[in-house]
Copies of this chain bind each other. A is one copy, B any other.
Amino acid sequence: MQRTDFSRMVCSIARTLDVIGEPWSPLILRDVWVGMTRFEQLQADLGISRKVLTERLNHLVEQGVLERRPYDRRPRHEYVLTEKGTDLLDLLMVMTTWGDKWLAGEPGPPILYRHHACGEISTADLRCAGCGAPMHAPDIDLLPGPGAAAA
């Protein structure tokens, strides 16, 4: 956990960082997404310290992003994404888009997405949930919302 607590800030970005902003957390989510759901698998794949992996998994479970589920009568568990966690994958998809564009370089993207609806290899783009037109940072104005701190 970063020393400063972001969860009290009046900002959805800061609050989100409080859930998955710690080092390794997004990579843990990525692995769970692609089916690496068990402690030993995650540890071996990521090369993360077992101590930190335990801390991260506990935090993600506490935050309701992952669910710890027994898969045997023995003390064996696997971690699965909740709905809240599945929603977070949007974030990973956008990180992938950006990394592919700016950091993949010569060899190109390590992973491709095939969209079920159209069957094509494609990438995710941000669109306005209302009108469907592209919606990136330069396309919007920011206004204070109901949850903004009182002046």
Contact = CB atoms under 8 A, between A and B. Distances in A.
B138 A11 contact: no
Contact of A145 (B110, B137, B146): B110
Q: Specify how many copies of this chain sit in the oligomer.
A: 2
Interface string A2-36: 11101000111111110101011011001001100
Interface residues of A, number: 86
Contacts of A117: 128, 131, 133-135, 139
Contacts of A142: 34, 111-114
B121 A129 contact: no
B110 A16 contact: no
A35 B115 CA distance: 37
Given A89-B137, A90-B136, A140-B114, A2 B21 contact: no
Contact of A91 (B14, B48, B87, B94): B94
A148 to B, nearest CB: 5
A86 interface: yes
A118 interface: yes
